C-alpha cells in the first residue's frame, strides 16, 4: 500500500499558537483518521472524518477533508507544550472487511515551545 | 475505552535469537489485528494482518518465515521474529479494532546486537 504525504515534515511553534498539518492521499477513501504518537509510544486516535463529511471538530482539533483534492488538514488551536508529538493521517479505503486496514501518511513532527 | 496491551516494551538480545511479541485486546474481542514496523522518524509500515483461527496475510516484501504470526484466540496475537539479526532492529506496533478507529499497543522496541 502506498503511503500518503504529510506536510510539513516538522513544525515548531510557540505555545498558544495554532498548528496546521496537511495530508494528501492517493486512493478513494471510506474515511480518514488522524493519530498522535508521543516519542517511543503507540498511536492514539484523535479524530475520524468520513468521506461524505467536509469538516469535523473535537475540542481544540479541527479537521477538514477535500475528497476532490484528496487532501485533509488538521488544525490544533491554542497549542500547548503537551501537544508536542508526531501526528499521522491514515486512510481507510473500505476494502479490507470488518477490521480496517489503514494506510498511514509520512507524519508531521510538531514541537510546541513553552 | 478499548485498550490494547503489547508486551514486552523493550527487548535487547543477541543475533540469532528468536523474539516473541504479544498483543492483547483487553476489553474487546479482535478477530483481526495488525502488525506494523516503524523505523526512527518514519511512518508505520504494515507488515501483516493477523486473523484469528487462520493464516496471517503478509504485505509484499515481508518474509512470513521470518515473522511468524499466531492468532490463536480472539484476544491475543503474537509476532515472533525468528533468528533475529541487527537489521531486524526496529519498533514494532500492533493494533486492533473494528470498522473505525484502531487501538494501538504501546509498541515494542527490538534491539539486536
pLDDT digits (tens, 9 = 90+) for A72-113: 999 999 999 999 999 999 998 877 665 678 999 999 999 999
Residue B37, C-beta contacts closer than 8 angstroms, at least 6 positions apart = B44, B45, B47, B90, B91, B92, B93
- State percent of chain B over pLDDT 70: 98
Collect all residues with Cβ–Cβ distance below 8 Å to B13 and sequence separation of at least 6: B19, B84, B111, B112, B113
Segment B60-109, tens digit of pLDDT: 999 999 999 999 899 999 999 999 999 999 999 999 987 778 999 999 99
- Indicate the pLDDT class of residue B2, thresholds 50, 70 and 90: low
Q: Which three cell numbers stand for residue A12?
A: 515548531
Q: Which three cell numbers stand for residue A43?
A: 498511536
A61 touches chain B (CB under 8 A): no
Chain A residue with Cα closest to B59? A1
> Grid coordinates in use for B17?
535469537
Instruction: Determine which of A35-44, A98-107, B28-37, B43-52 has the lowest per-residue pLDDT on average.
Output: A98-107
Contact A9, A98 (CB under 8 A): no
Contact A43 B49 (CB under 8 A): no
pLDDT at residue A67 greater than cutoff 50:
yes
- pLDDT given for residue B72 in this prediction: 84
Query: For residue A1, what pLDDT is reported?
Result: 45
Asked if residues A4 and A103 have their Cβ atoms less than 8 Å apart, the reply is: yes
In sequence order, the 6+-apart residues with CB closer than 8 A to the CB of B30 are: A99, B52, B74, B75, B77, B96, B97
A110 contacts in chain B (CB < 8 Å)? none
Q: What is the pLDDT of residues A39-60, one digit of tens each?
A: 989 999 999 999 999 999 999 9
- What mean pLDDT value characterizes chain B? 93
Closest Cα of chain A to B15: distance in Å?
23
Which triple of cell numbers denotes residue B83? Answer: 533468528
pLDDT value at residue A31: 93
CB nearest A99 (choices: B32, B44, B107): B32
Phi, psi at A83, each rounded to 5°: -80, -10
Amino acid at each position: 500500500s502506498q503511503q500518503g504525504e504529510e506536510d510539513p515534515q516538522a513544525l515548531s511553534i510557540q505555545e498558544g499558537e495554532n498548528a496546521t498539518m496537511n495530508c494528501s492521499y492517493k486512493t478513494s477513501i471510506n474515511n480518514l483518521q488522524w493519530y498522535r504518537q508521543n516519542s517511543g509510544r503507540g498511536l492514539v486516535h484523535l479524530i475520524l472524518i468520513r468521506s461524505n463529511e467536509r469538516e469535523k471538530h473535537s475540542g481544540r482539533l479541527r479537521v477538514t477533508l477535500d475528497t476532490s483534492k484528496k487532501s485533509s488538514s488538521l488544525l490544533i488551536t491554542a497549542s500547548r507544550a503537551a501537544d508536542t508529538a508526531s501526528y499521522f493521517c491514515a486512510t481507510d479505503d473500505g476494502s479490507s472487511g470488518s477490521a480496517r486496514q489503514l494506510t498511514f501518511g509520512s507524519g508531521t513532527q510538531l514541537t510546541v515551545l513553552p | 475505552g478499548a485498550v490494547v496491551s503489547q508486551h514486552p516494551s523493550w527487548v535487547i538480545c543477541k543475533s540469532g535469537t528468536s523474539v516473541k511479541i504479544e498483543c492483547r485486546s483487553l476489553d474487546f474481542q479482535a478477530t483481526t489485528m495488525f502488525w506494523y514496523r516503524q523505523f526512527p522518524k518514519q511512518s508505520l509500515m504494515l507488515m501483516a494482518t493477523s486473523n484469528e483461527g487462520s493464516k496471517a496475510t503478509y504485505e509484499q516484501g515481508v518474509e512470513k518465515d521470518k515473522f511468524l504470526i499466531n492468532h490463536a484466540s480472539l484476544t491475543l496475537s503474537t509476532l515472533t521474529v525468528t533468528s533475529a539479526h541487527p537489521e531486524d532492529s526496529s519498533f514494532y506496533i500492533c493494533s486492533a479494532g473494528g470498522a473505525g478507529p484502531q487501538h494501538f499497543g504501546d509498541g515494542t522496541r527490538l534491539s539486536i546486537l
